[in-house]
């Protein structure tokens, strides 16, 4: 590879994709710079990343939790994730794992790699060539496209709920394993805590 200098990225947002209605985008930002790397991912993977970022505890392990538990059971540590290629608009990644002092690299879908990086609390990297071709620089205000509660599926807006009701509802939807709704409730709780 021509450029081997890794650039560390941080997850700054998960938003609905403007281009594809049923997809989401995870937005990564270079830690020492202004470029963002938006990556289109599926709803399941977006949910898996959001659940881990929000430190929600599902009743049963999600697929990525299972994978993490399996790696840990065999004493394998995920050291880092590298988004190492971009071909025909598709990002490729690898998991860099450590077992008994040996490094192993495992190919992965980028969305799965990010979901595991959040669970292992390990760094995410990419290369300059990828940021150069797919990175964007946001000028001025942060412009992520959040799912706005114009009309939710059941016509409920969480703004009318008391904080105590929100906490109860959050536990209820977690028990039902409705993580998408749980993330929206958590957003409302976080918004109120910031404003109080």
pLDDT per position as a tens digit, 144-160:
433 333 333 333 567 77
Higher-pLDDT residue of 146, 22 = 22
Mean pLDDT over residues 73-80, rounded? 96
Please give the residue that has the higher pLDDT: either 14 or 83.
Answer: 83
Interval 170-191 mean pLDDT: 76
Query: CB–CB of 35/27 below 8 Å?
Result: no
Residue 159, token pair as written in the block: 């703004």
Q: How do strand 102-109 and strand 90-99 relate by DSSP bridges? A: antiparallel
Mean pLDDT for all residues in the chain: 81
For residue 105, pLDDT beyond 80? yes
Q: Is the distance from CB of 14 to CB of 36 less than 8 angstroms?
A: no
| Distance of alpha carbon 109 from alpha carbon 94, whole angstroms | 8
In whole angstroms, give the CA distance from residue 186 to residue 54. Answer: 8
DSSP letter for 17, please.
-
Q: What integer pLDDT is reported at residue 20 of this predicted model?
A: 55
pLDDT at residue 139, rounded to an integer: 56
Lowest mean pLDDT among 12-26, 88-102, 105-119: 12-26
Of 51, 62, 36, 9, nearest to 145 by C-alpha is 36
């Amino acid at each position: 590879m021509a450029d081997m200098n890794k650039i560390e990225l941080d997850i700054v947002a998960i938003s609905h994709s403007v281009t594809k209605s049923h997809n989401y985008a995870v937005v990564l930002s270079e830690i020492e710079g202004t470029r963002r790397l938006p990556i289109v991912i599926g709803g399941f993977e977006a949910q898996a990343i959001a659940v881990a970022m929000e430190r929600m505890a599902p009743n049963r392990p999600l697929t990525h939790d299972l994978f993490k538990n399996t790696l840990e059971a065999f004493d394998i540590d995920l050291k880092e994730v590298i988004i190492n290629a971009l071909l025909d608009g598709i990002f490729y990644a690898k998991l860099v794992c450590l077992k008994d002092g040996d490094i192993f690299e495992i190919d992965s879908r980028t969305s799965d790699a990010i979901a595991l990086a959040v669970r292992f609390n390990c760094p995410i990297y990419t290369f300059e060539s990828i940021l150069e071709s797919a990175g964007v620089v946001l000028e001025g205000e942060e412009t992520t496209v959040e799912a706005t509660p114009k009309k939710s599926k059941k016509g409920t807006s969480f703004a009318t709920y008391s904080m105590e009701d929100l906490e109860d509802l959050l536990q209820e939807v977690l028990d039902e394993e409705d993580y998408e709704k749980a993330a929206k409730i958590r957003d409302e709780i976080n918004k109120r805590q910031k404003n109080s």
